[in-house]
Structure 1
Amino acid sequence: MHLPATLTAVCALVAAAPALADPVFNRIASFATTANMAEGEDRMRETSAEIMAVTEDGMRLIYSDSPLGVIGMIDIADPRAPKPLGNIDVDGEPTTAVIRKGMAFVGVNTSESFTDPSGALRSIDLAEGRIVDSCDLGGQPDSVAIGSDMIAVAIENERDEDLGDGGLPQMPAGFVALLPLTDAGVDCAAMTRVDLTGLAEIAPEDPEPEFLDINDAGEIVVTLQENNHIVVIGADGAIASHFSAGSVDLDGIDVAEEGALDFTGQLRDVPREPDAVKWLDADHFVTANEGDWNGGSRGFTVFARDGGVVFDSGNGFDRAVAAIGHYPEHRSENKGAEPEAVTVATFDGQRLLFVASERGSVVGVYDATDPAQPRLLQMLPSGIGPEGLVAIPARNLFATANETDLGEDGGARAHVMIFERAEGQAAYPTVTSEGSDPLIGWGALSGLAMDPAQPGTLFAVSDSAYHTQPAIFTIDATQTPARITAKTVLTRDGAPAAAIDLEGIAPDGQGGFWLASEGNADKDVPHLVLQVGADGAILREFDLPEALVAHRKRFGFEGIALHEGKLWIAVQREWGDDPAGQTKLLQLDPATGEWSGVRYPLESGEGWVGLSELTVHGDHLYLIERDNLIGDAAVLKTVTRVAMADLQPAPLGGDLPLVAKEVVRDLIPDLRRWKGYVQDKVEGMAISDGGQVWIVTDNDGVDDASGETFLWSFDLP
């Protein structure tokens, strides 16, 4: 497989394509919520895009931004170039919103305490950008839904999760508020309450309605998440039926937060505790079973209106998230992939179901034409923390609102992401372990190498995100997407190796590998060079040479390559004995244990700049040099090279020669081709004998990250 340098074949690095009859969604734009902030406003303030709605003409999106206390607006007349329309202050904390005839109806939490909840339904004229009416709801609103003649609001009156064990009951009880629609908006005076007490088996005196939806007949389905209960309210406002959401047994899942991915565990009798709910048709609705204080079944369920379970995803959704590297291992003892949002829409006669994993930051798209047999079509990269889902079938569009904002920590901002449905192939994922048995869990790919014996095969390593399970992955890059076919765990004395942070890999020419461990003295993780056998058993270890021990810093070994019997190792950033703006390229002779090195000039920039990888090809040593910035702030993600003839290493402890470098390729245009924000961690590189360069990004183990992994290739110039 040999892709052209123009990267026009990036889209060929795709997910296993759905059946040819199924068009696919691909991301076409991303919108950072900071774009809606006014000139002079502090752009480092936390923002959010939580729950979203679309105007009836499909040309404008609005989203709730709780940290700023506003509704944000986006012009999507050109969905590939969304434009900011600014924010509207709602005088409180917005939860959800719906739209009718140019009017947005926004649930706003104004509570001063958990025991004295309050809230309002604000009516906002979107053309004028101002509040024109407000209804006192008598409690804290969560979800808002709109029907042909009324608005329904779930008054959750949420509990204090820090009180006791965070469980129920915690009064006052929640209820559903119904407000009739008029030509002018809503009739506040005619608001009625639907009492939900006495229904659930769990804390019947304290129902906490979480989410609701209205069907064409005016019937309302309501989830009581913490109560693990579902209520159907008739068009007359009376309770038509109610039932427990039930529980499930799960096999083949990860159940321990131990720094490893192991999908062989099981859980029994897990309450579903559903969050979002949507009518699938007149007789069925679907729930996203996020879980809460007492469970989380990690999937979604299709119910008949009488409470019968028509379909449950079991472990399927959780494992689909894991297969594309998005599984949040740090949530294994809680809710796994944590499905939270769900929506339903019909595109060209095909009934589609969208399920979002909040912690995995991905959306599953299912064909739900048969409610009893939803069929997974694809997985969409969404941004961090998808909460709001909007389908716009008339324009073949779909959008996600992603609530997590990591700007204060130098991470990605909250985003709205836009997808278009069309004929073709899915551009994501680029790597998958789908079909492996047992399922191969993976993520945080931090180093890359070619298999010298098998063209089209790559080897990768994972970093300290999985600190109890350092591993080598075998990747078949001749398939689209590339397939992870094997996982080899490193062992020391027969047990999984500990205190290893793999960042580089190179075949040793004997069927095994040379590996580089970054090291972090603050966490007792040594800087190491290791030789391992084909089975992952550690054969030899080389510690940091004495000349460098006194000057070591956290940012250590970030790549390794074998050339003419000697190893080259990149040091990520300056250590204590380096001049400003320079780092080291170290050489290790494994036959003698002797170390030497040269200095490498780093570019200057915002944040920090360092090396992520190195490999040898022909007469040059190729490196990845990058900054640690993300999104619009990212400036430097490059492939550079140094002539091997210029690498004349000197003994450590004295002056080291400074090498000259040449920039080969700017990787930022490549990263933008997936239409998300620019990822910061471009960390792996391998080059074939024919000059095909493979690059992979590190998804940080889906911890405060979107989980997206991009693997792509281009030809050397």
Structure 2
Amino acid sequence: MKKRYLSIVLFSALVACNESDPTPTPITTIDFSQISSLQIGGAAAAEITAFDPETNQLFVVNNSEDSKVDVVDFSDPLSPVISSSIDVTQFGGGVNSVAVKDGMLAMAVEADTKTNNGTVIVYNTGDLTTPIAQVTVGALPDMVTFSPNARYIVTANEGEPNDEYTIDPVGSISVIDVNSNFSVVTLGFESFESQKATLMSNGFRVFGPGATLAQDVEPEYVAIDENSEFAWVTLQENNGMAKVNLSTKTITDVFPFGLKDNSIAGNELDASDRDDEVSLKSWPLLSYFLPDALASYAVNGANYLITVNEGDTRDYDGYAEEERVKDLELDPVAFPDAEELQKDENLGRYTVTTSAGDENNDGIFEELYGIGARSFTVWDGNSGAMVMDYNSLEKDFLAVAPNLYDDGRGDNKGVEPEGVTIGMINEKTLVFVGLERVDAVMVYELTGTSSFTFVQVLETGDAPEGVLFISADESPNGKPLLVVSSEDDGFLRVYQND
């Protein structure tokens, strides 16, 4: 039985067929509903999923026990079945991401010691017995993707430090040229050290203990333009994005993302889990965007990126940056109402970073810097400039699904937008935004450069991580599909637009 979902239907459905015109009129209603589900494993299973239209197989990251990629027979989306698995432990410490293009499966595998260089393993999807390539990339490859023309495989190599923060490998981006026998160039950020002061003055974060900019940068997620010319990579903990020229295999730009002022109208947030209500208010905060996933699209030949601004911090034995506002000493001039502000029902339990805000390092904070913008944002792909920040994400969710909102996360990242993908249905551009902490996907229609209209909210499994759109042209049943991977309960859920 199909589940029901809260939605605003933008267009009426009309499917007509008569003797004079036997061709059905295309369905123009956007209304997804769940048609099936499949449990992949326990926690840490079903994190990222890729689809191969040539074999009708899904490939699913599964790290719930020993690391593997589960292969799912998806020829009938109503009844997906696990058909086999690829053991990843033979290649390294664990698989973080998978991607498929033109009959090739690429897997991003970290080393047994995560600070060492990782590997990209490539298979033919029709023969999963022996890899056709094993390519060394940078430390901790966290995301892998193909360019639309299938020539390039690109990885974001996060380069996280060890827990003691005594080893901090450089963050990097690897570009693998499929047409050149899978040759690889791994790009670091050493050349941007001279721009460090300027980048930081515009909101870029470089703050790891004793780290150079190249060590501190942590690439997270990759998007590539439709012409396979450029890649953009989020630098999550650093609050920015890199641009890569794929033909020259160079990082051309690092774009700082600046700050969001939560004291002004339109940027309100629910900052407490102890106020016995969901209340979006203005607070004296400057929040870092700290985006996770991103997706690219083009309008009139110009490239744009959508980032989902999850927020992320460093929390290691050797260095930790999080603190609650109530546990900080606030400057009495900057915060004359500090006592009231630091109550649990106000801003007291809100989590901020201690990497900024104490300008003279005397332990007294003159400003408060929040973690994550709780929004999604459109950026100009050429200049890195903000086009618009969609501030109504939490407002939209609360308006249509208030019972799903987790007020216990008010003090830390809110709904936590983490995944995003873009799909086309009947020339309509849809944006799917995964919300990890309220177990939902928001669906929007995008028109023009940056006009968004809310369509629907889909209730998902626990902590949706991967959001995969399958077009009607590639779908096994000819219907547009959305596959959501939920890492905390290990389920795939399949939604169909009829």
TM-score per shorter chain, which class?
A: 0.7 to 0.9
Q: 1:240–1:112: structure 2 CA closer, same or farther, 3 Å change rule?
A: closer
Matched, 1:18 2:102: no
Selected match of 1:248 from 260, 272, 286: 260
Q: What is the CA–CA distance in structure 2 between the aligned matches of 1:180 and 1:264, rounded to whole Å?
A: 48
1:431-442 superposed matches below 5 A? none
Contact preservation (8 Å) 1:74, 1:84: yes
Which residue of structure 2 aligns with residue 130 of structure 1? 129
Aligned partner of residue 321 in structure 1, secondary structure: helix
Q: Deviations over 1:635-659 (max 9, x none)?
A: xxxxxxxxxxxxxxxxxxxxxxxxx
Q: What is the CA–CA distance in structure 2 between the aligned matches of 1:274 and 1:58, rounded to whole Å?
A: 33
Which residue of structure 1 aligns with residue 186 of structure 2? 193
Which residue of structure 1 aligns with residue 373 of structure 2? 297
Matched, 1:283 2:284: no
Contact preservation (8 Å) 1:222, 1:230: yes
Q: CA RMSD in A?
A: 2.4
State the one-letter code of the partner of 1:376.
F
Q: What is the CA–CA distance in structure 2 between the aligned matches of 1:170 and 1:304, rounded to whole Å?
A: 35
Aligned partner of residue 395 in structure 2, secondary structure: helix
Q: 1:22–1:371: structure 2 CA closer, same or farther, 3 Å change rule?
A: farther
Aligned partner of residue 49 in structure 1, secondary structure: strand
Which residue of structure 2 aligns with residue 172 of structure 1? 169
Aligned partner of residue 374 in structure 1, secondary structure: strand
Q: Deviations over 1:236-295 (max 9, x none)?
A: 222333211222234442101216233133343211001101102241110011111241
Shift in Å, 1:69: 0.5
Q: What is the CA–CA distance in structure 1 between the aligned matches of 2:442 and 2:140, rounded to whole Å?
A: 31
State the one-letter code of the partner of 1:151.
I
1:259-408 superposed matches below 5 A? 260-267=276-283, 268-281=285-298, 282-293=302-313, 294=353, 295-305=371-381, 306-314=383-391, 316-323=392-399, 324=401, 325-394=403-472, 395=475, 396-405=480-489
Q: What is the CA–CA distance in structure 2 between the aligned matches of 1:120 and 1:131, rounded to whole Å?
A: 15
Q: Deviations over 1:583-613 (max 9, x none)?
A: xxxxxxxxxxxxxxxxxxxxxxxxxxxxxxx
Q: 1:15–1:345: structure 2 CA closer, same or farther, 3 Å change rule?
A: closer
Which stretches of structure 1, 4 residues or longer, exceed 4 Å deviation after superposition?
Answer: none
Matched, 1:418 2:415: no
State the one-letter code of the partner of 2:465.
E
Shift in Å, 1:70: 0.5
Shift in Å, 1:346: 1.4
Contact preservation (8 Å) 2:261, 2:287: yes
Aligned partner of residue 9 in structure 2, secondary structure: coil
Shift in Å, 1:102: 2.6
Q: 1:308–1:118: structure 2 CA closer, same or farther, 3 Å change rule?
A: same
Matched, 1:28 2:35: yes
Contact preservation (8 Å) 1:255, 1:333: yes
Q: What is the CA–CA distance in structure 2 between the aligned matches of 1:279 and 1:170, rounded to whole Å?
A: 34
Which residue of structure 2 aligns with residue 143 of structure 1? 143
Q: What is the CA–CA distance in structure 2 between the aligned matches of 1:136 and 1:359, rounded to whole Å?
A: 34
Q: What is the CA–CA distance in structure 1 between the aligned matches of 2:86 and 2:79, rounded to whole Å?
A: 21
Selected match of 1:228 from 239, 242, 259: 239
State the one-letter code of the partner of 1:70.
K
Aligned partner of residue 266 in structure 1, secondary structure: coil
Aligned partner of residue 396 in structure 2, secondary structure: helix
Q: What is the CA–CA distance in structure 2 between the aligned matches of 1:159 and 1:330, rounded to whole Å?
A: 30
State the one-letter code of the partner of 2:146.
I
Q: What is the CA–CA distance in structure 1 between the aligned matches of 2:142 and 2:488, rounded to whole Å?
A: 18
Contact preservation (8 Å) 1:111, 1:118: no
Q: Deviations over 1:193-242 (max 9, x none)?
A: 22224365221242100011111232000110000011111232223332
Q: What is the CA–CA distance in structure 2 between the aligned matches of 1:375 and 1:51, rounded to whole Å?
A: 27
Shift in Å, 1:46: 4.8
Q: What is the CA–CA distance in structure 2 between the aligned matches of 1:131 and 1:355, rounded to whole Å?
A: 35
State the one-letter code of the partner of 1:398.
L
Q: What is the CA–CA distance in structure 2 between the aligned matches of 1:159 and 1:350, rounded to whole Å?
A: 43
Contact preservation (8 Å) 2:467, 2:483: yes
Contact preservation (8 Å) 1:361, 1:381: yes
Shift in Å, 1:47: 5.2
Structure 1: state its 5+ residue gaps: 1-6, 35-44, 406-413, 423-717
Q: 1:330–1:54: structure 2 CA closer, same or farther, 3 Å change rule?
A: same
Which region of structure 1 is more displaced relative to structure 2, 375-384 or 123-132?
123-132
Q: Deviations over 1:606-641 (max 9, x none)?
A: xxxxxxxxxxxxxxxxxxxxxxxxxxxxxxxxxxxx
State the one-letter code of the partner of 1:234.
N
Q: What is the CA–CA distance in structure 2 between the aligned matches of 1:248 and 1:109, rounded to whole Å?
A: 34
Which residue of structure 2 aligns with residue 88 of structure 1? 86
Contact preservation (8 Å) 2:9, 2:30: no
Q: What is the CA–CA distance in structure 2 between the aligned matches of 1:15 and 1:58, rounded to whole Å?
A: 33
Bigger relative CO (Cα 8 Å, ≥ 6 apart)? 2
State the one-letter code of the partner of 2:236.
Q
Q: What is the CA–CA distance in structure 1 between the aligned matches of 2:276 and 2:167, rounded to whole Å?
A: 37
Q: 1:69–1:259: structure 2 CA closer, same or farther, 3 Å change rule?
A: farther
Q: What is the CA–CA distance in structure 2 between the aligned matches of 1:404 and 1:284, rounded to whole Å?
A: 31
Shift in Å, 1:83: 1.7
Which residue of structure 2 aligns with residue 102 of structure 1? 103
| TM-score, length basis structure 1 | 0.51
| TM-score, length basis structure 2 | 0.72
Q: Percent identity?
A: 25
